[in-house]
Amino acid sequence: MRLPRIVSPELPMPTPQDCFSRVAHAIAQAEETQELRQIYEEKFYQIMENLQFLPGGRTLANAGTSFPQLANCFVLPMEDNIEEIFEVVRDSSILKKFGGGVGFSFSKIRPKGDAIAGISGQACGPVALMKILDSASEIFMQDGKRRSGNMVVLSVSHPDVLDFITAKKDQSTLAQVNYSLGVTNRFMEAVEKDEPWELVNPRTGRVSSTVNARSIFEVATAMAWENGDPGLIFLDRINRDNPTPNLGPIEAVNLCGEQPLLPYEACNLGSINLTKFITESQKSKVKSQKDFDWKKLGEVVEIAVRFLDDVISAARYPLAKVDRMVKGNRKIGLGIMGWADTLVKFGIPYDSNEALNLAERVMKFINKTAHLASQKLGKEKGSFPNFSGSRWQKKTKWMRNATCTTIAPTGSISMVAGVSSGIEPLFALSYYKEVMGGARLPEVNQDLMGQLENLKLKNLEELKKEVIKTGTIAHFKQIPTRLRRVFVTAHEIAPTFHVKMQAAFQKYTDNAVSKTINLPREATVEDVEEAFVLAWRLGCKGITIYRDRSRKSQVLNIGDGGGSLNPNENCPNCGKKLVRGEGCLSCPACGYSVCEL
């Protein structure tokens, strides 16, 4: 059995294996007997050490430490009175202090200029409250290292909807707030039919005005084209899958939109690294065939479900209401990462029907296996406390977790695993990630470099330099068409195919799917509109688009940054030399890291 490693300034920097050992030990303590703790500590360690599965960043960072707050994100309610508003601001600040982003629904907040009982003043409205959240987030840094985030959802029927949509017209405002428009089927149908739409004061329940539905939609698509906000949240689709409708409707999501949550619920996510389950069989003397080791994948899914369930029991939450709600529903979200890398290894273009079919096949298997594992756990440990009255009660006798699957963005853990993020396509074949302190994490696709070596081209070195500079091989005619198709990048994929891939995974996912519809700089507002409508029609639970360089700064940047692909060598905190390992830059002297978990 591995014991957790004690880290002090006198000891060397912890290795990834040290981290996995600490996490496995801490999470296995949730098991009921010493024998089970020893068994599952070893199993948890092995699937992490083999990079077959990794939990969310907060679990990796905090498990086994003095404050095991293990959730990456939360949702809090926002009621329409001054006392509760500032209580929620306080609660959200506490959650952010311990490393969690927070989602809110502002749909109950009375509109700007509305009456306030007992005083002569007027209400400030939802947008002003967004500025309060933004300011609070600027002041408090998560764990003293990074700023926190907020996701605000507003109903499309709210009288302040147009002010909300255009809240980031000035890109210097609301830097710590993402926001999405909460839309219904009725609204989308009204858009298609060019019908009027009623705006309703949430305080009185009365219609305050009537506008054209398409006009709201067009302003939303124009603003999303301009700088990425707002996204859309499809509330009817989300609540169709709400496992506990008896506890109320879901009105908000987490920071990246993949986890619809009730008030006071939290994210508990982890991801399977699909590249670790690829097998190869000889189809003929000259051709081999790729597939998955389905048996091994199923075994790891079952262990991962148990791991995530144990996270709920091992975690300590800063707020008692969160603790009760999380343990009442025991929601987990197991997903995947390395999808683009997997398709490359299979030789399948991302924007192909073959890729869509494989996506459905993989996620159907993971979802079904996760459900069976949760049912087995429910029989062993008991169903989630809110099982009675839930949708699961009509389907099965036991269920440990109200939800089992989610597709997360996996920004940090995919870097640790050395694979592509979530279900995203290859962003570029050469790019850099700009992080805190101005440091740049460069990435060059090594699968491609290997394939180029095999071509034995005369001008190979010049070709490599050009790929590193531009981040693409689409225009290199000397490279076989088949290879150019397989190594297609995000901006070369039609927006509609981005949406189709998201929908393929959503079909077999309990919660939602984090996916950015990355558009090239030259994309049009009409492209955004088409993507929004298609996402609704195909059953996605939300959609986020981002047009390249539509903001003054962005995290991922194509190419070598003008020849500066090498990252900064000195720590911005203490000035000592940074060390690169496992996809991160870290400082042995002060512990600073630029791939924050």
Q: Name the residues annotated as catalytic.
A: 254, 256, 258
Kindly state the helix (H) or strand (E) to which residue 529 belongs, with its residue range: helix 525-537
Q: Where do runs of H (alpha helix) occur along 382-491? A: 413-417, 446-455, 460-470, 481-486
Tell me how crowded residue 204 is: count the other CB atoms within 10 A of its CB. 11
| β pairing state of 440-444 and 516-519 | unpaired
Preceding amide of 77 cis, omega within 30: no
CA distances from 308 to 333, 575, 586 (A): 8, 38, 27
CA distances from 116 to 76, 80, 478 (A): 23, 10, 70
Tell me which residue of 519, 488, 515, 520 sits closest to 502, measured CA to CA.
515
Torsion, Cα of 492, 554, 583, 504 (10° steps) = -40
Structure token pair of residue 143: 């764990």
- C-alpha angle 526-164-499 in degrees, rounded to nearest 5: 35
Structure token pair of residue 317: 């939450």
In three-state secondary structure terms, 506 is helix
Tell me which residue of 279, 165, 175 sits closest to 222, measured CA to CA.
165
Q: What is the DSSP string of 26-74?
A: HHHTTSSSHHHHHHHHHHHHHHHHTTSEEE-HHHHHHTTSSS----SEE
Structure token pair of residue 33: 């007997």
Q: What is the DSSP string of 315-328?
A: ---SSHHHHHHHHH
Q: Where do runs of H (alpha helix) occur along 110-212? A: 126-139, 161-165, 185-193
CA distances from 489 to 176, 339, 341, 425 (A): 28, 13, 12, 6
Across the strands, what pairs with 76? 104
Which residues, in sequence order, are CB contacts of 280 under 8 Å at separation 6+? 288, 289, 290, 291
Contact 292, 336 (CB under 8 A): no
Contact 90, 133 (CB under 8 A): no
CA distances from 110 to 44, 157, 317 (A): 48, 12, 31
DSSP state of 111: P
Q: In whole angstroms, what is the distance from residue 37 CA to residue 29 CA?
A: 6
Classify each residue of 246-279 as buried b or exposed e, where b means 16 or more C-beta atoms within 10 Å of its C-beta: ebeebbbbbbbbbbbbbbbbbbbbbbbbbbbbee
Q: In whole angstroms, what is the distance from residue 362 CA to residue 366 CA?
A: 6
